[in-house]
Amino acid sequence: MPKLKITIDIFSGRKNPALELEGNEAAETLERLKPSRKLKKDDLGLPPNSTLGYRGLVFEQIGPKSKDLPKTFRLANGDLFGPRLSHRATDEKYEDFFCSQKGPINKIDLGRKFPTFVKSEIRRFHKVREEYKAKPVRWPLRVVCRCAPLYEPDWWNDGVLQF
């Protein structure tokens, strides 16, 4: 029988809450998260790991794993990320279900308001992803201003204060 560990990647400097699903509940979740379409270059990607607050749900398959998904993967705003995985989930609204009154989040005892807090963080994270569009870096970089001083770290960092 499948077993699934779900970690809510939300806290910084504190252990993230996690829960486990087994049997039919785990199998149903994996079915809902099957990859549907591959993400395009125009689709939202993940912002850097240094983002504060919610960064998605991290899934870890324990024991027999689904052939459609890697052992460990992340779901963020309906998008799946993992090794050789950058797809839209079949159930794009799984995070809403996860935080609902019938959702698995209720297995975590962090208070009545925690599911509402996570929902608001999911919406905020979607806005962060929209604002963060990684632009390709062209190499080598061209010097924009030829009047800028030379890069001389030894001169600037010699440890001697001069006024």
| pLDDT tens figures, 94-117 | 999 999 999 999 999 899 899 999
- The answer to whether position 35 is within a domain reads yes
Three-state DSSP class for 41?
coil
- The answer to whether position 21 is within a domain reads yes
Q: What are the DSSP E strand ranges found in 67-158?
A: 72-76, 79-82, 85-89
Give the highest mean pLDDT range of 75-79, 127-131, 140-144.
75-79
32 vs 28: CA distance, rounded Å: 6
When pLDDT is cut at 50, 70 and 90, the band that residue 40 belongs to is confident
Residue whose token pair is 């850097």: 48
Q: How many CA atoms does the CB half-sphere of 35 hold within 13 Å?
A: 18
Does the structure show a pLDDT above 90 at 18? yes
- The answer to whether position 23 is within a domain reads yes
- The answer to whether position 64 is within a domain reads yes
Segments in the chain forming alpha helices (H): 23-32, 94-98, 114-131, 153-156
Question: What is the layout of strands, in order, in the sheet containing 72-76?
Answer: 18-22, 3-8, 57-62, 72-76, 79-82, 85-89, 35-38
Domain range enclosing 27: 3-131
- The answer to whether position 140 is within a domain reads no
66 vs 81: CA distance, rounded Å: 15
47 vs 79: CA distance, rounded Å: 13
Percent of the chain clearing pLDDT 70 (strictly above): 79
Q: What is the mean pLDDT of residues 24-49?
A: 86
- For residue 136, the model assigns a pLDDT of 58
- The answer to whether position 137 is within a domain reads no
How many domains in the chain? 1
Q: What is the mean pLDDT of residues 25-44?
A: 90
- The answer to whether position 67 is within a domain reads yes
- The answer to whether position 124 is within a domain reads yes
- For residue 70, the model assigns a pLDDT of 93
When pLDDT is cut at 50, 70 and 90, the band that residue 163 belongs to is very low
Cβ–Cβ contacts within 10 Å for residue 154, how many? Answer: 6
Does the structure show a pLDDT above 70 at 79? yes
Does the structure show a pLDDT above 90 at 129? no
